[in-house]
Amino acid sequence: MLQFIYSQLIRLALPFILLRLWWQGRQAPELRINWQQRLGFVPRASGTVVWVHAVSVGETIAAAPMVRRLLARNPNITILMTAMTDTGQTQAMKMFGDQVQYAYAPYDTPGAIRRFLNRVNPRILVIMETEIWPNMIRQSRSRGVPVFLINARLSERSALGYERVKRLVAPIMRSISWVAAQAEKDAERFRRIGVAASKVAVTGSVKFDVDIPDSVRAASRQLKNRLSERPVWIAGSTHEGEDAQLLAAHQQLLQHKPDALLIIVPRHPERFESVADLIGRQGFPLARRSLGDELSNAQVYLGDTMGELMMLYGASDVAFVGGSLIERGGHNPLEPAGWGVPVISGPNVFNFETIYERLLDDGGVTLVNDGDELFLRLLALFSNTDERHASGQRALLVVNKNKGALDRVVDGIIERV
């Protein structure tokens, strides 16, 4: 009954969801492209299809090493990557080109999911992290399609929320074939909300298996050469409410390091213009990557392109990971750590608690509470080359010693394909 009520509510909401999509498409026309796919009208697929669902950019990047490894192990399979956002799909296309197929994930109505499954006929569904869509999971299992949650994480806050609707969630959890959890705490929370203990394994986080392609390394070196010997720090994946604090920290840093450069990369492309306006109002000379602006006179470089954050991390001397000075929960600190770059974050990192615990245990990250503390840490690192190098190496060591989850995950998928 609860599943039926949920499905009816999604159906009733669908016209409003489509109207919102059309409205957002006024400023981002790419949102209107292939909108029919969101109703399940996707191109037909053939062969052994592994459906990899990654909601947006972060999950898509996390899925990349797994997808590459799957294709290397079994080149005859067809990988279909889906995302809920245009930025996630753009990221996937940038990474894989014509190696895989792409589609927008269908909205979670019974009809959209049914049409999607009829056209794709997947052998297995791999969901990155914790995207729990009732109709997607239940209909896949009813067709005999194994459903895996890979790199699965579940915060205590989310677990408590699911427990409040356990009558709805438990049947869905029972439909999941395998949960590859990042840590024992995540595994215990999945068991609490209804996943059988025999279906839960602690594999570690595949995000530790940082994969930096040679092309990204080359582009990073090229940009680094353009920046010469300037002190460069990056604020990646920033959100509204953080940018002003970051710019204030940079203003203080410039008083001590006049040639310092801040690379700021908003998490969402719809914020590029508003962040550019903020930088201009603050009086910083600005260069925009999308325009190919000259960097020599810039104090702030706006990373207003898609799919280049990993490269920009590599061109920087210090990295701040956004979404952490506000109640957003943070973003992936292993991307800069994989470059051996010192990592700084705000205090709100509950979305990556296991990763941050391991970084903190080995001194691979510094947490700051506000822009003033951020400035002090930046000044300390830029005033001491040895400490800056040592901090980056500590972060890289954490990445290297926690690798291995990817092999365990790929082995588990290959066994069932």
Largest distance between two CA atoms of the chain: 65
CA-closest candidate to residue 355, choices 340, 345, 369: 345
Tell me: pLDDT of 380 over 90: yes
Percent of the chain with pLDDT over 70: 99
In contact, 123 and 417? CB cutoff 8 Å: yes
Whole-number pLDDT of residue 28:
67
Q: pLDDT for 152-175, tens place per residue?
A: 988 888 899 988 888 888 888 999
Sign of CA dihedral 134, 41, 97, 225: negative
Place of tokens 């016209």: 15
What pTM value is reported for the model? Answer: 0.80
For the record, the structure tokens of 71 come out as 């294709």
Sign of CA dihedral 42, 45, 48, 52: negative
Q: pLDDT for 225-252, tens place per residue?
A: 999 889 999 999 999 999 999 999 999 9
The confidence band for 276, taking pLDDT boundaries of 50, 70 and 90, is very high
Q: pLDDT for 84-136, tens place per residue?
A: 888 888 888 888 888 999 999 999 999 999 999 999 999 999 999 888 889 99
**Mean confidence (pLDDT) of the chain:** 91
* DSSP calls for 306-373: SS-HHHHHHT-SEEEESSTTTTT----THHHHTTT--EEE-S--GGGHHHHHHHHHTT--EE-SSHHH
Q: pLDDT for 280-302, tens place per residue?
A: 999 999 999 999 999 999 999 99
Sign of CA dihedral 266, 88, 187, 106: positive
Our answer to whether residue 188 is catalytic in this structure is: no
Percent of the chain with pLDDT over 90: 65
Sign of CA dihedral 7, 13, 18, 23: negative
Q: pLDDT for 64-84, tens place per residue?
A: 889 999 999 888 899 999 998
Neighbours of 226 (CB within 10 A): 11
For the record, the structure tokens of 357 come out as 């615990």
Whole-number pLDDT of residue 373:
98
Whole-number pLDDT of residue 165:
84
Name the catalytic one among 30, 59, 129, 308. 59
Whole-number pLDDT of residue 1:
67
Work out the average pLDDT over 385-404.
95
Q: pLDDT for 335-358, tens place per residue?
A: 999 999 999 999 999 888 889 999
Work out the average pLDDT over 54-71.
87
Whole-number pLDDT of residue 404:
85
